[in-house]
Protein backbone atom coordinates (compact mmCIF):
# COMPACT_ATOMS: atom_id res chain seq x y z
CA UNK A 1 0.00 0.00 0.00
CA UNK A 2 1.10 3.56 -0.67
CA UNK A 3 2.74 4.80 2.57
CA UNK A 4 1.31 8.29 2.06
CA UNK A 5 -2.17 6.80 2.05
CA UNK A 6 -1.37 4.90 5.22
CA UNK A 7 -0.14 8.00 6.99
CA UNK A 8 -3.39 9.98 7.03
CA UNK A 9 -5.44 6.86 7.74
CA UNK A 10 -3.22 5.70 10.57
CA UNK A 11 -3.36 9.14 12.20
CA UNK A 12 -7.17 9.05 12.07
CA UNK A 13 -7.23 5.45 13.20
CA UNK A 14 -5.23 6.46 16.28
CA UNK A 15 -7.45 9.46 17.02
CA UNK A 16 -10.52 10.12 14.87
CA UNK A 17 -10.77 13.66 16.24
CA UNK A 18 -7.43 14.80 14.79
CA UNK A 19 -8.32 17.88 12.79
CA UNK A 20 -7.34 18.27 9.14
CA UNK A 21 -5.18 21.23 10.23
CA UNK A 22 -3.20 19.02 12.61
CA UNK A 23 -2.94 16.23 10.04
CA UNK A 24 -1.56 18.77 7.55
CA UNK A 25 1.08 19.79 10.09
CA UNK A 26 1.94 16.19 10.96
CA UNK A 27 2.31 15.05 7.38
CA UNK A 28 3.67 18.21 5.78
CA UNK A 29 0.79 18.24 3.27
CA UNK A 30 -1.40 21.25 2.47
CA UNK A 31 -4.77 21.58 4.16
CA UNK A 32 -6.50 21.23 0.79
CA UNK A 33 -4.68 17.98 0.05
CA UNK A 34 -5.64 16.56 3.44
CA UNK A 35 -9.27 17.61 3.15
CA UNK A 36 -9.40 16.24 -0.39
CA UNK A 37 -7.95 12.90 0.65
CA UNK A 38 -10.24 12.51 3.66
CA UNK A 39 -13.26 13.44 1.51
CA UNK A 40 -12.32 10.71 -0.96
CA UNK A 41 -11.87 8.12 1.81
CA UNK A 42 -15.28 8.96 3.21
CA UNK A 43 -16.93 8.87 -0.20
CA UNK A 44 -15.32 5.56 -1.16
CA UNK A 45 -16.13 3.93 2.16
CA UNK A 46 -12.48 3.53 3.14
CA UNK A 47 -13.37 5.47 6.27
CA UNK A 48 -16.59 3.89 7.47
CA UNK A 49 -17.39 6.00 10.48
CA UNK A 50 -15.90 8.12 13.27
CA UNK A 51 -16.96 6.95 16.70
CA UNK A 52 -15.83 7.12 20.31
CA UNK A 53 -14.80 3.96 22.12
CA UNK A 54 -16.92 4.04 25.27
CA UNK A 55 -16.70 2.04 28.45
CA UNK A 56 -20.46 1.88 29.11
CA UNK A 57 -20.00 0.10 32.41
CA UNK A 58 -18.25 3.17 33.79
CA UNK A 59 -21.41 5.24 33.36
CA UNK A 60 -23.48 2.51 34.99
CA UNK A 61 -25.01 1.27 31.76
CA UNK A 62 -24.85 -2.49 31.88
CA UNK A 63 -25.43 -4.08 28.53
CA UNK A 64 -25.50 -7.75 27.82
CA UNK A 65 -23.16 -8.90 25.09
CA UNK A 66 -23.20 -12.34 23.53
CA UNK A 67 -21.04 -14.06 20.96
CA UNK A 68 -23.24 -16.43 19.01
CA UNK A 69 -21.92 -19.18 16.80
CA UNK A 70 -24.48 -19.89 14.11
CA UNK A 71 -24.65 -22.97 11.89
CA UNK A 72 -26.42 -22.40 8.62
CA UNK A 73 -27.20 -24.19 5.39
CA UNK A 74 -25.74 -22.18 2.53
CA UNK A 75 -28.22 -21.30 -0.18
CA UNK A 76 -27.75 -21.89 -3.88
CA UNK A 77 -26.07 -19.02 -5.78
CA UNK A 78 -25.69 -16.75 -2.76
CA UNK A 79 -23.88 -19.11 -0.36
CA UNK A 80 -23.81 -17.66 3.13
CA UNK A 81 -24.35 -14.08 2.02
CA UNK A 82 -28.15 -14.04 2.07
CA UNK A 83 -28.48 -15.34 5.61
CA UNK A 84 -25.53 -13.30 6.85
CA UNK A 85 -27.08 -10.15 5.40
CA UNK A 86 -30.39 -10.96 6.97
CA UNK A 87 -28.84 -11.39 10.41
CA UNK A 88 -26.63 -8.33 10.03
CA UNK A 89 -29.57 -5.98 9.53
CA UNK A 90 -30.99 -6.47 13.03
CA UNK A 91 -30.10 -3.44 15.16
CA UNK A 92 -29.06 -5.67 18.11
CA UNK A 93 -26.37 -7.23 15.95
CA UNK A 94 -23.03 -5.45 16.22
CA UNK A 95 -20.91 -7.68 14.01
CA UNK A 96 -21.31 -10.67 11.72
CA UNK A 97 -18.42 -12.67 10.34
CA UNK A 98 -18.15 -15.81 8.26
CA UNK A 99 -15.59 -17.96 10.05
CA UNK A 100 -13.86 -21.28 9.65
CA UNK A 101 -14.24 -24.06 12.23
CA UNK A 102 -17.20 -25.76 13.82
CA UNK A 103 -19.77 -23.10 12.97
CA UNK A 104 -20.32 -20.84 9.99
CA UNK A 105 -21.19 -17.39 11.24
CA UNK A 106 -20.00 -15.62 14.35
CA UNK A 107 -22.40 -12.92 15.50
CA UNK A 108 -21.98 -10.32 18.23
CA UNK A 109 -25.23 -9.20 19.77
CA UNK A 110 -25.76 -6.44 22.31
CA UNK A 111 -28.91 -6.01 24.30
CA UNK A 112 -30.14 -4.08 27.34
CA UNK A 113 -30.88 -7.21 29.35
CA UNK A 114 -30.71 -10.97 29.33
CA UNK A 115 -34.41 -11.48 28.57
CA UNK A 116 -34.35 -9.37 25.45
CA UNK A 117 -31.24 -11.10 24.25
CA UNK A 118 -32.78 -14.53 24.84
CA UNK A 119 -35.86 -13.43 22.95
CA UNK A 120 -33.77 -12.23 20.04
CA UNK A 121 -31.96 -15.55 19.77
CA UNK A 122 -35.05 -17.69 20.21
CA UNK A 123 -37.49 -15.67 18.15
CA UNK A 124 -35.43 -13.90 15.50
CA UNK A 125 -32.13 -15.63 14.95
CA UNK A 126 -32.90 -19.31 15.43
CA UNK A 127 -36.05 -19.11 13.36
CA UNK A 128 -34.41 -17.79 10.20
CA UNK A 129 -34.81 -20.31 7.41
CA UNK A 130 -31.47 -22.05 6.91
CA UNK A 131 -30.21 -21.56 10.48
CA UNK A 132 -29.69 -25.03 11.88
CA UNK A 133 -28.21 -24.25 15.29
CA UNK A 134 -26.84 -21.59 17.62
CA UNK A 135 -24.36 -21.62 20.51
CA UNK A 136 -24.44 -18.52 22.69
CA UNK A 137 -21.46 -17.33 24.75
CA UNK A 138 -22.07 -14.46 27.16
CA UNK A 139 -19.43 -11.83 27.70
CA UNK A 140 -18.33 -11.86 31.33
CA UNK A 141 -15.55 -9.34 31.40
CA UNK A 142 -13.80 -7.08 28.89
CA UNK A 143 -10.00 -6.94 28.96
CA UNK A 144 -9.24 -5.46 25.58
CA UNK A 145 -11.47 -4.32 22.76
CA UNK A 146 -10.59 -2.61 19.48
CA UNK A 147 -6.99 -2.05 20.59
CA UNK A 148 -8.11 -0.43 23.84
CA UNK A 149 -7.07 -2.03 27.11
CA UNK A 150 -9.72 -2.17 29.83
CA UNK A 151 -7.04 -2.62 32.46
CA UNK A 152 -5.38 -0.33 34.95
CA UNK A 153 -3.43 2.35 33.08
CA UNK A 154 0.30 1.84 32.73
CA UNK A 155 2.29 4.38 34.61
CA UNK A 156 5.56 5.31 33.00
CA UNK A 157 6.59 8.50 34.74
CA UNK A 158 9.63 10.02 33.15
CA UNK A 159 12.02 12.48 34.74
CA UNK A 160 11.18 16.10 33.89
CA UNK A 161 14.60 16.66 32.42
CA UNK A 162 16.89 13.90 31.23
CA UNK A 163 20.12 13.96 29.22
CA UNK B 1 44.45 12.60 64.16
CA UNK B 2 45.07 14.26 60.79
CA UNK B 3 42.54 15.81 58.41
CA UNK B 4 40.82 13.57 55.91
CA UNK B 5 42.62 13.75 52.58
CA UNK B 6 40.80 15.36 49.65
CA UNK B 7 38.95 13.29 47.07
CA UNK B 8 40.35 12.90 43.56
CA UNK B 9 41.03 16.17 41.77
CA UNK B 10 39.62 15.07 38.41
CA UNK B 11 36.37 13.93 40.00
CA UNK B 12 35.91 16.96 42.25
CA UNK B 13 36.66 19.39 39.44
CA UNK B 14 34.23 17.75 37.05
CA UNK B 15 31.51 20.31 36.28
CA UNK B 16 27.94 19.47 37.25
CA UNK B 17 25.81 18.80 34.17
CA UNK B 18 23.94 21.89 32.97
CA UNK B 19 20.90 19.66 32.72
CA UNK B 20 20.98 18.90 36.42
CA UNK B 21 20.25 22.44 37.58
CA UNK B 22 17.12 22.67 35.43
CA UNK B 23 15.98 19.29 36.52
CA UNK B 24 15.95 20.36 40.15
CA UNK B 25 13.97 23.53 39.45
CA UNK B 26 11.48 21.94 37.03
CA UNK B 27 10.86 18.91 39.22
CA UNK B 28 9.66 21.15 42.05
CA UNK B 29 7.07 22.99 39.90
CA UNK B 30 3.48 22.12 39.06
CA UNK B 31 1.89 21.97 35.60
CA UNK B 32 5.21 22.00 33.76
CA UNK B 33 5.25 20.83 30.17
CA UNK B 34 8.62 19.28 29.67
CA UNK B 35 10.42 19.33 26.36
CA UNK B 36 13.54 18.45 28.28
CA UNK B 37 13.29 14.69 28.29
CA UNK B 38 15.93 12.76 26.39
CA UNK B 39 14.03 9.49 26.21
CA UNK B 40 11.06 8.06 24.31
CA UNK B 41 7.58 8.73 25.70
CA UNK B 42 6.51 5.26 24.58
CA UNK B 43 6.51 2.37 26.98
CA UNK B 44 8.64 -0.63 25.99
CA UNK B 45 6.52 -2.76 23.61
CA UNK B 46 4.62 -5.44 25.49
CA UNK B 47 6.12 -8.55 23.96
CA UNK B 48 9.53 -7.33 25.11
CA UNK B 49 8.32 -6.82 28.68
CA UNK B 50 6.53 -10.14 28.57
CA UNK B 51 9.71 -11.93 27.48
CA UNK B 52 11.51 -10.39 30.45
CA UNK B 53 8.75 -11.49 32.83
CA UNK B 54 8.90 -15.00 31.39
CA UNK B 55 12.65 -15.14 31.89
CA UNK B 56 12.14 -14.19 35.54
CA UNK B 57 9.44 -16.81 35.93
CA UNK B 58 11.86 -19.42 34.66
CA UNK B 59 14.36 -18.31 37.25
CA UNK B 60 16.88 -16.77 34.87
CA UNK B 61 18.50 -14.53 37.42
CA UNK B 62 22.19 -15.35 37.19
CA UNK B 63 25.23 -13.66 35.67
CA UNK B 64 25.69 -14.11 31.97
CA UNK B 65 28.95 -14.47 30.09
CA UNK B 66 31.05 -11.30 30.51
CA UNK B 67 30.49 -10.67 26.83
CA UNK B 68 26.73 -10.98 27.23
CA UNK B 69 24.31 -13.66 26.05
CA UNK B 70 25.66 -15.31 22.92
CA UNK B 71 22.15 -15.45 21.38
CA UNK B 72 21.87 -11.68 21.74
CA UNK B 73 25.34 -11.11 20.27
CA UNK B 74 24.48 -13.36 17.33
CA UNK B 75 21.31 -11.38 16.66
CA UNK B 76 23.19 -8.07 16.87
CA UNK B 77 25.84 -9.41 14.50
CA UNK B 78 23.21 -10.49 11.97
CA UNK B 79 21.36 -7.20 12.36
CA UNK B 80 24.45 -5.04 11.68
CA UNK B 81 25.45 -7.24 8.76
CA UNK B 82 22.01 -7.03 7.20
CA UNK B 83 21.35 -3.38 7.91
CA UNK B 84 24.76 -1.78 7.34
CA UNK B 85 26.84 -4.49 5.72
CA UNK B 86 29.37 -4.41 8.57
CA UNK B 87 30.62 -7.67 9.91
CA UNK B 88 31.33 -8.26 13.61
CA UNK B 89 31.95 -11.69 15.03
CA UNK B 90 29.54 -12.49 17.86
CA UNK B 91 32.34 -14.38 19.60
CA UNK B 92 34.90 -11.66 20.16
CA UNK B 93 33.80 -8.41 18.53
CA UNK B 94 30.51 -7.59 20.26
CA UNK B 95 30.29 -6.75 23.96
CA UNK B 96 26.97 -6.17 25.70
CA UNK B 97 27.26 -3.16 28.02
CA UNK B 98 25.11 -1.36 30.56
CA UNK B 99 23.94 1.19 28.02
CA UNK B 100 26.15 3.16 25.66
CA UNK B 101 27.27 5.09 28.75
CA UNK B 102 29.26 2.16 30.09
CA UNK B 103 30.54 1.35 26.62
CA UNK B 104 31.88 4.84 26.20
CA UNK B 105 33.56 4.75 29.58
CA UNK B 106 35.41 1.50 29.00
CA UNK B 107 36.35 2.41 25.43
CA UNK B 108 37.94 5.65 26.60
CA UNK B 109 39.72 3.89 29.44
CA UNK B 110 40.97 1.34 26.93
CA UNK B 111 42.51 3.75 24.46
CA UNK B 112 43.65 6.72 26.57
CA UNK B 113 46.85 7.24 28.50
CA UNK B 114 46.91 10.15 30.94
CA UNK B 115 47.09 13.40 28.99
CA UNK B 116 45.94 11.96 25.68
CA UNK B 117 43.58 14.23 23.79
CA UNK B 118 40.21 13.40 22.25
CA UNK B 119 38.65 15.65 19.63
CA UNK B 120 34.97 16.20 20.41
CA UNK B 121 32.82 18.14 17.94
CA UNK B 122 30.30 20.30 19.81
CA UNK B 123 27.44 20.65 20.60
CA UNK B 124 27.45 17.06 21.78
CA UNK B 125 25.97 14.73 24.36
CA UNK B 126 26.60 15.90 27.92
CA UNK B 127 28.71 12.89 28.96
CA UNK B 128 31.34 12.90 26.23
CA UNK B 129 33.76 15.40 27.73
CA UNK B 130 33.39 14.30 31.38
CA UNK B 131 33.96 10.66 30.36
CA UNK B 132 37.16 11.62 28.51
CA UNK B 133 38.35 13.53 31.58
CA UNK B 134 37.50 10.64 33.94
CA UNK B 135 39.54 8.30 31.74
CA UNK B 136 42.52 10.60 32.28
CA UNK B 137 42.27 12.22 28.87
CA UNK B 138 41.80 15.81 27.79
CA UNK B 139 38.68 16.60 25.79
CA UNK B 140 39.36 19.06 22.99
CA UNK B 141 36.20 20.78 21.80
CA UNK B 142 35.75 21.33 18.08
CA UNK B 143 33.19 24.02 17.36
CA UNK B 144 30.56 23.57 14.70
CA UNK B 145 28.12 26.19 13.44
CA UNK B 146 24.36 26.21 13.15
CA UNK B 147 24.70 28.10 9.85
CA UNK B 148 26.60 25.10 8.48
CA UNK B 149 24.12 22.55 9.90
CA UNK B 150 26.68 21.72 12.60
CA UNK B 151 28.94 20.03 10.03
CA UNK B 152 32.41 18.93 11.15
CA UNK B 153 35.03 21.20 9.60
CA UNK B 154 38.19 19.19 8.89
CA UNK B 155 40.33 22.32 9.06
CA UNK B 156 39.19 22.88 12.63
CA UNK B 157 40.14 19.30 13.47
CA UNK B 158 43.57 19.86 11.94
CA UNK B 159 44.00 23.09 13.89
CA UNK B 160 43.50 21.23 17.19
CA UNK B 161 45.64 18.22 16.28
CA UNK B 162 48.67 17.64 18.52
CA UNK B 163 51.07 14.77 19.12
CA UNK B 164 48.80 13.76 22.00
CA UNK B 165 45.62 13.51 19.92
CA UNK B 166 44.42 9.93 20.06
CA UNK B 167 40.81 9.80 18.99
CA UNK B 168 37.79 11.61 17.69
CA UNK B 169 34.45 11.07 19.42
CA UNK B 170 31.29 11.62 17.39
CA UNK B 171 27.60 10.85 17.74
CA UNK B 172 25.16 11.08 14.81
CA UNK B 173 22.22 11.51 14.62
CA UNK B 174 23.11 14.06 17.25
CA UNK B 175 21.78 14.71 20.69
CA UNK B 176 21.19 17.72 20.98
CA UNK B 177 21.08 19.11 17.43
CA UNK B 178 19.22 16.26 15.69
CA UNK B 179 21.52 16.54 12.66
CA UNK B 180 23.01 13.62 10.78
CA UNK B 181 26.44 13.99 9.21
CA UNK B 182 26.60 13.74 5.41
CA UNK B 183 28.56 10.77 4.10
CA UNK B 184 31.14 12.97 2.36
CA UNK B 185 32.03 14.67 5.64
CA UNK B 186 32.22 11.38 7.52
CA UNK B 187 34.54 10.07 4.78
CA UNK B 188 36.77 13.11 5.35
CA UNK B 189 36.74 12.45 9.09
CA UNK B 190 37.80 8.85 8.43
CA UNK B 191 40.58 10.01 6.11
CA UNK B 192 41.73 12.52 8.73
CA UNK B 193 41.80 9.73 11.32
CA UNK B 194 43.73 7.45 8.95
CA UNK B 195 46.31 10.12 8.21
CA UNK B 196 46.91 10.74 11.89
CA UNK B 197 46.59 7.27 13.36
CA UNK B 198 43.48 8.13 15.36
CA UNK B 199 40.69 6.00 16.74
CA UNK B 200 37.12 6.89 15.88
CA UNK B 201 34.52 6.48 18.60
CA UNK B 202 31.10 6.52 16.98
CA UNK B 203 27.99 6.67 19.18
CA UNK B 204 25.10 5.62 16.95
CA UNK B 205 22.38 5.16 19.57
CA UNK B 206 19.92 7.19 17.47
CA UNK B 207 20.62 5.29 14.22
CA UNK B 208 17.02 4.12 13.81
CA UNK B 209 15.46 7.50 14.48
CA UNK B 210 16.05 8.99 11.04
CA UNK B 211 13.43 10.85 9.05
CA UNK B 212 15.33 11.76 5.91
CA UNK B 213 17.93 9.75 4.06
CA UNK B 214 19.74 6.72 5.40
CA UNK B 215 21.94 6.32 8.42
CA UNK B 216 25.63 5.86 7.70
CA UNK B 217 27.19 3.34 10.04
CA UNK B 218 30.71 4.75 10.45
CA UNK B 219 32.65 1.44 10.44
CA UNK B 220 31.08 0.69 7.05
CA UNK B 221 33.04 3.60 5.51
CA UNK B 222 36.20 2.55 3.67
CA UNK B 223 39.20 2.75 5.98
CA UNK B 224 37.14 3.11 9.16
CA UNK B 225 36.59 -0.45 10.36
CA UNK B 226 40.03 -1.12 11.85
CA UNK B 227 40.05 2.11 13.87
CA UNK B 228 36.42 2.48 14.87
CA UNK B 229 34.62 1.55 18.04
CA UNK B 230 30.90 1.48 17.39
CA UNK B 231 28.41 2.17 20.20
CA UNK B 232 24.74 1.34 20.02
CA UNK B 233 21.97 -0.03 22.20
CA UNK B 234 18.29 -0.59 22.71
CA UNK B 235 17.24 2.53 24.61
CA UNK B 236 16.03 4.82 21.86
CA UNK B 237 14.80 2.63 19.00
CA UNK B 238 12.90 0.20 21.23
CA UNK B 239 11.90 2.63 24.01
CA UNK B 240 14.03 0.68 26.49
CA UNK B 241 16.01 3.38 28.33
CA UNK B 242 15.40 1.93 31.80
CA UNK B 243 16.65 -1.53 30.84
CA UNK B 244 20.17 -0.19 30.36
CA UNK B 245 21.31 -2.45 27.54
CA UNK B 246 23.86 -1.25 24.99
CA UNK B 247 26.68 -2.79 23.01
CA UNK B 248 30.08 -1.99 21.60
CA UNK B 249 31.65 -3.45 18.49
CA UNK B 250 35.19 -3.11 17.27
CA UNK B 251 38.32 -4.86 16.07
CA UNK B 252 38.98 -8.00 18.14
CA UNK B 253 42.36 -6.70 19.33
CA UNK B 254 40.74 -3.70 21.08
CA UNK B 255 37.64 -5.60 22.17
CA UNK B 256 39.65 -8.04 24.28
CA UNK B 257 40.98 -5.15 26.41
CA UNK B 258 37.57 -3.50 26.70
CA UNK B 259 36.13 -6.82 27.75
CA UNK B 260 38.84 -7.10 30.45
CA UNK B 261 37.82 -3.75 31.96
CA UNK B 262 34.14 -4.66 31.67
CA UNK B 263 34.74 -7.98 33.41
CA UNK B 264 36.39 -6.25 36.38
CA UNK B 265 34.07 -3.27 36.71
CA UNK B 266 30.64 -4.48 35.57
CA UNK B 267 30.98 -8.25 35.19
CA UNK B 268 28.00 -8.35 32.85
CA UNK B 269 24.89 -6.44 31.86
CA UNK B 270 21.76 -7.54 33.77
CA UNK B 271 20.34 -10.76 32.40
CA UNK B 272 16.70 -9.62 32.44
CA UNK B 273 17.57 -6.64 30.28
CA UNK B 274 19.51 -8.86 27.90
CA UNK B 275 16.56 -11.24 27.58
CA UNK B 276 14.31 -8.27 26.84
CA UNK B 277 16.79 -6.95 24.26
CA UNK B 278 16.86 -10.35 22.58
CA UNK B 279 13.09 -10.26 22.15
CA UNK B 280 13.28 -6.66 20.94
CA UNK B 281 15.76 -7.33 18.17
CA UNK B 282 13.85 -10.44 17.08
CA UNK B 283 10.31 -9.14 17.00
CA UNK B 284 9.88 -5.41 17.55
CA UNK B 285 10.67 -4.07 14.10
CA UNK B 286 7.04 -3.11 13.33
CA UNK B 287 6.83 -1.16 16.57
CA UNK B 288 10.13 0.60 15.85
CA UNK B 289 8.77 1.72 12.49
CA UNK B 290 5.54 2.92 14.09
CA UNK B 291 7.37 4.94 16.73
CA UNK B 292 9.71 6.44 14.12
CA UNK B 293 6.71 7.44 12.03
CA UNK B 294 5.12 9.20 15.01
CA UNK B 295 8.35 11.00 15.95
CA UNK B 296 8.64 12.10 12.33
CA UNK B 297 5.17 13.63 12.42
CA UNK B 298 5.79 15.45 15.71
CA UNK B 299 9.09 16.76 14.38
CA UNK B 300 7.26 18.71 11.69
CA UNK B 301 4.80 20.20 14.18
CA UNK B 302 7.59 21.34 16.48
CA UNK B 303 9.96 22.74 13.86
CA UNK B 304 7.20 24.58 11.98
CA UNK B 305 5.98 25.90 15.31
CA UNK B 306 9.37 27.36 16.29
CA UNK B 307 9.91 28.94 12.90
CA UNK B 308 6.42 30.49 13.04
CA UNK B 309 7.21 31.96 16.48
CA UNK B 310 10.39 33.48 15.05
CA UNK B 311 12.86 31.15 16.72
CA UNK B 312 14.91 29.94 13.78
CA UNK B 313 15.03 26.17 13.71
CA UNK B 314 16.71 23.90 11.17
CA UNK B 315 14.86 20.71 10.27
CA UNK B 316 16.63 17.93 12.18
CA UNK B 317 17.10 14.73 10.16
CA UNK B 318 17.27 12.39 13.13
CA UNK B 319 17.03 11.70 16.90
CA UNK B 320 14.08 13.43 18.59
CA UNK B 321 15.36 16.92 19.26
CA UNK B 322 14.72 20.30 17.74
CA UNK B 323 17.47 22.82 18.41
CA UNK B 324 16.05 26.28 17.70
CA UNK B 325 18.09 29.44 18.11
CA UNK B 326 16.90 31.96 20.69
CA UNK B 327 19.34 34.63 19.47
CA UNK B 328 16.48 36.73 18.07
CA UNK B 329 15.11 37.27 21.58
CA UNK B 330 18.30 38.88 22.79
CA UNK B 331 18.45 36.43 25.70
CA UNK B 332 21.14 33.88 26.31
CA UNK B 333 20.02 30.24 26.16
CA UNK B 334 20.33 29.99 29.95
CA UNK B 335 18.23 33.12 30.56
CA UNK B 336 15.67 32.03 27.99
CA UNK B 337 15.29 28.56 29.48
CA UNK B 338 15.09 29.81 33.04
CA UNK B 339 12.57 32.58 32.36
CA UNK B 340 10.48 30.32 30.13
CA UNK B 341 10.29 27.81 32.95
CA UNK B 342 9.27 30.35 35.59
CA UNK B 343 6.98 32.49 33.42
CA UNK B 344 5.31 29.90 31.19
CA UNK B 345 6.13 26.57 32.86
CA UNK B 346 7.79 24.98 29.84
CA UNK B 347 11.02 23.11 30.51
CA UNK B 348 13.68 23.10 27.81
CA UNK B 349 17.42 22.53 28.09
CA UNK B 350 19.78 25.43 27.31
CA UNK B 351 22.22 24.57 24.52
CA UNK B 352 25.14 25.55 26.74
CA UNK B 353 24.71 22.19 28.48
CA UNK B 354 26.04 20.59 25.30
CA UNK B 355 29.10 22.76 24.77
CA UNK B 356 30.04 26.15 23.46
CA UNK B 357 28.54 25.77 19.99
CA UNK B 358 25.08 25.40 21.49
CA UNK B 359 25.18 28.73 23.30
CA UNK B 360 22.41 30.46 21.39
CA UNK B 361 20.13 27.43 21.22
CA UNK B 362 17.70 25.44 23.33
CA UNK B 363 17.17 21.69 23.06
CA UNK B 364 13.53 20.66 22.79
CA UNK B 365 12.56 17.01 22.70
CA UNK B 366 9.61 15.99 20.55
CA UNK B 367 9.40 12.63 22.27
CA UNK B 368 6.14 13.81 23.76
CA UNK B 369 2.53 13.92 22.57
CA UNK B 370 1.37 16.27 19.82
CA UNK B 371 -1.07 17.89 22.28
CA UNK B 372 1.73 18.71 24.68
CA UNK B 373 3.96 19.96 21.88
CA UNK B 374 1.21 22.28 20.67
CA UNK B 375 0.46 23.55 24.17
CA UNK B 376 4.17 24.12 24.80
CA UNK B 377 4.47 26.04 21.53
CA UNK B 378 1.51 28.23 22.51
CA UNK B 379 3.17 29.02 25.83
CA UNK B 380 6.53 29.69 24.17
CA UNK B 381 4.82 32.03 21.70
CA UNK B 382 3.25 33.96 24.57
CA UNK B 383 6.64 34.20 26.24
CA UNK B 384 8.43 35.37 23.08
CA UNK B 385 5.66 37.85 22.20
CA UNK B 386 5.93 39.40 25.65
CA UNK B 387 9.70 39.72 25.29
CA UNK B 388 9.33 41.41 21.94
CA UNK B 389 6.62 43.74 23.23
CA UNK B 390 8.86 44.83 26.11
CA UNK B 391 11.83 45.45 23.86
CA UNK B 392 9.75 47.74 21.60
| Closest B-chain CA to A7 | B293
Kindly report, residue by residue over A128-163, the tens digit of the pLDDT. Answer: 999 999 999 999 998 998 888 888 877 777 888 888
Asked if residue A23 belongs to a domain, the reply is yes
Check for a shared fold between B9-44+286-391 and B46-283. no
Contact between B370 and A28 using a beta-carbon 8 Å cutoff: no
Q: Which residues of A touch B53 (CB under 8 A)?
A: none
Residues A63 and A110 in one domain: yes
* Measured distance CA(B46)–CA(B290) in Å, rounded: 14
Asked if residue A149 belongs to a domain, the reply is no
**Could you tell me if B36 and B322 are in contact, meaning their C-beta atoms sit under 8 angstroms apart?**
no
Fold topology of B9-44+286-391: 3.90.1150
Residues A31 and A60 in one domain: no
Residues A67 and A29 in one domain: no
Interface check for B350 against chain A (CB to CB < 8 A): the answer is: no
Low-confidence ranges of chain B (pLDDT < 70): 391-392
Kindly report, residue by residue over A55-82, the tens digit of the pLDDT. Answer: 888 898 888 999 999 999 988 888 899 9
Residues A63 and A134 in one domain: yes
Residues A131 and A109 in one domain: yes
| Closest A-chain CA to B126 | A163
| pLDDT at A1 (0 to 100) | 52
CATH number of B46-283: 3.40.640.10
| pLDDT at A159 (0 to 100) | 83
Contact between B37 and A25 using a beta-carbon 8 Å cutoff: no
Kindly report, residue by residue over B266-286, the tens digit of the pLDDT. Answer: 999 999 999 999 999 999 999
Contact between B347 and A26 using a beta-carbon 8 Å cutoff: no
Cα distance from N-terminal residue to C-terminal residue, chain A? 38
Asked if residue A18 belongs to a domain, the reply is yes
**Could you tell me if B344 and B336 are in contact, meaning their C-beta atoms sit under 8 angstroms apart?**
no
Q: What value does the mean pLDDT take over residues A112-138?
A: 94
Q: Is the pLDDT of residue A102 over 60?
A: yes
Residue of B171, B370, B373 best to disrupt the A interface, most CBs of A under 10 A? B370
Residues A67 and A116 in one domain: yes
* Measured distance CA(B120)–CA(B269) in Å, rounded: 27
Asked if residue A87 belongs to a domain, the reply is yes
B16-75 residues touching A, CB cutoff 8 A: 17, 19, 22-23, 26-27, 32, 34, 36-39, 41, 43
Which sequence spans correspond to the domains of chain B?
9-44+286-391, 46-283
Number of structural domains chain A divides into: 2
Residues A26 and A60 in one domain: no
Kindly report, residue by residue over B198-256, the tens digit of the pLDDT. Answer: 999 999 999 999 999 999 999 999 999 999 999 999 999 999 999 999 999 999 999 99
ipTM above 0.85, yes or no: no
Residues A34 and A60 in one domain: no
Pure H helices in chain A: 3-14, 20-27, 31-44, 81-88, 114-119
| pLDDT at B392 (0 to 100) | 56
Closest CB to A161 among B175, B301, B347 = B347
Q: Which range of residues forms the domain containing residue A9?
A: 3-44
Interface check for A147 against chain B (CB to CB < 8 A): the answer is: no
Q: What pLDDT band is residue A2 in, cutting at 50, 70 and 90?
A: low
Q: Is the pLDDT of residue A120 over 70?
A: yes
Amino acid sequence: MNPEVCEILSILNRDGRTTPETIAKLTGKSLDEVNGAIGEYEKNGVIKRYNAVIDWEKVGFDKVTAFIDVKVVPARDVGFDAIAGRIARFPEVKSVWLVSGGSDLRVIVESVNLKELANFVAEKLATIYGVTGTVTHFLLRRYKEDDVLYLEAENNERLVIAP
Amino acid sequence: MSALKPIATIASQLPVSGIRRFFDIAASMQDVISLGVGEPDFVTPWQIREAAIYSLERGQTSYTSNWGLIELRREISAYLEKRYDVSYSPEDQILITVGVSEGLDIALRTILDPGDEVLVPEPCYVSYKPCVALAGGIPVAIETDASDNFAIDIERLEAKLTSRTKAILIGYPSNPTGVTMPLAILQNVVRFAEENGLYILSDEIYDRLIYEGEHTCVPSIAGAYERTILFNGFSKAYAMTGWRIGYICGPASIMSTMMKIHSYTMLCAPITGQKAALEAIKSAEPQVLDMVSQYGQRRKVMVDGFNAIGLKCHLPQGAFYAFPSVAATGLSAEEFAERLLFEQRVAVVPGTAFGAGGGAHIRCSYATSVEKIELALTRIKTFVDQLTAVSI
